[in-house]
Amino acid sequence: MDYPEIVKSIELDPEEAKRMFGGRSPTSLKICTVVGDSMLGTIFPGDLVVIDVTVNRLIGDGIYAFVYGDNFHIKRLQLLKDKLVVISDNSTYEKWFVSETDQSEFHIQGLVVGRWQMSYNRLG
């Protein structure tokens, strides 16, 4: 059975959107539902993250959405000398590195600029 797409957009008051996203253009923002627990402590499974898709390169340490190989990730990235460190905020996961030889496998999709913590209470 096919299920219709329930959420196609989220509408916000323009002033509230400006406060939340710092004046970023709405067309530069995408929303993604988080799957997995690697960023526990900062981002939780089921949260919605807001990604600025105009950022397609490292502009400083921060949380980024990126593709490495065939896998999509949301992780903290930090540049240390000549190595890019990929950090999960959940200490269960080890940090890992993207070397210069791996650069062709690594593509930044955007900068994570916010999150909505989602909760759902079934009432009926």
In the chain (124 residues long), the average pLDDT of successive 10-residue segments reads 58 83 86 94 93 96 96 96 94 95 93 86 80
- Fold (CATH) for 14-116: Umud Fragment, subunit A (2.10.109)
What is the pLDDT, as a whole number, of residue 58?
96
Sorted by where each begins, the domain ranges of the chain are 14-116
Q: Phi/psi at 23 (nearest 5 deg)? A: 80, 5
pTM of the model: 0.86
Give CA–CA dist 75/81, Å, rounded: 19
What is the pLDDT, as a whole number, of residue 27?
85
